[in-house]
Amino acid sequence: MTTTHHPVVLTSSSIGGRDEEVVEANAAIIDAMRKAMLRLEDMSPVAVRSCLVDFYLSQALEGGFAQYAVMAGGRIATDPLVREGMAGMGATAHLDLFNRAVEAYGAVSAGTAASYLAGRSGESGAVPGAVLRVDELDGEFEELLEHENITALNARWLRGQPDLLVLDDEEVGPYIQRLAAMALEDAREAAGARESHERAVAGRSARTS
């Protein structure tokens, strides 16, 4: 089985561009890898975390933390990766705010969260305290963006990777295809090894019975 360390991949057209272009290029490459059926294990851990931090940023900008919480789906897996990404890029203030928002949103009931996202108050017309707390943190998030530029930190983190791989735009597709072929071969070898092991175990059991 092939064991490979997967580097961050950026395009030559984005590497010298604005910070937003660098982060978007990484996200586009991760998206292309997902469409090629690559698993997270087949991608750069840094690139994946960078992409998820940018996803959090885009959702929070559009609809606050509640929108991120809904759009993220399985947050048991996603939240830790967002945290690790923020820590890796040095976005310490955003990480602290993220943790407080996770705690505050956890106090919002499912029904209240649905009404909150739809722009409705509770049955009594009053806004629950947990919702007010999430709103307060959303306001803090907007203020924090002026003091800790998370996109600039993200782009610097990507550019600063020691094994950064810079490809021309037309080279990205073939590179991803090679990764997908390698991942498929690894999966086949793993399946074959499991079958051989199972046959060996069955054989030993038959001899001892």
Per-residue pLDDT of 33-72, as tens digits, reads 999 999 999 999 999 999 999 999 999 999 999 999 999 9
The model's pTM is 0.82
Per-position DSSP letters for 84-134, written without gaps between them? HHHHHHT-HHHHHHHHHHHHHHHTS-HHHHHHHHTT---TTSPPPHHHHHH
For the domain made up of 9-208, give the CATH fold.
Answer: A middle domain of Talin 1 (1.20.1420)
Look at residue 5 in the predicted model and tell me its pLDDT.
79
The pair of structure tokens assigned to 19 is: 């910070």
The pair of structure tokens assigned to 67 is: 């929108």
Per-residue pLDDT of 84-117, as tens digits, reads 999 999 999 999 999 999 999 988 866 555 555 5
> Which has the higher per-residue pLDDT, 104 or 206?
104
State the average pLDDT over residues 146-153: 97
What's the rounded Cα separation, in Å, for the pair 94 and 105? 16
What's the rounded Cα separation, in Å, for the pair 20 and 201? 54
What's the rounded Cα separation, in Å, for the pair 35 and 205? 43
* pLDDT of residue 80 exceeding 90: yes
Domain locations in the chain as residue ranges: 9-208
Per-residue pLDDT of 5-25, as tens digits, reads 789 999 999 999 999 999 999
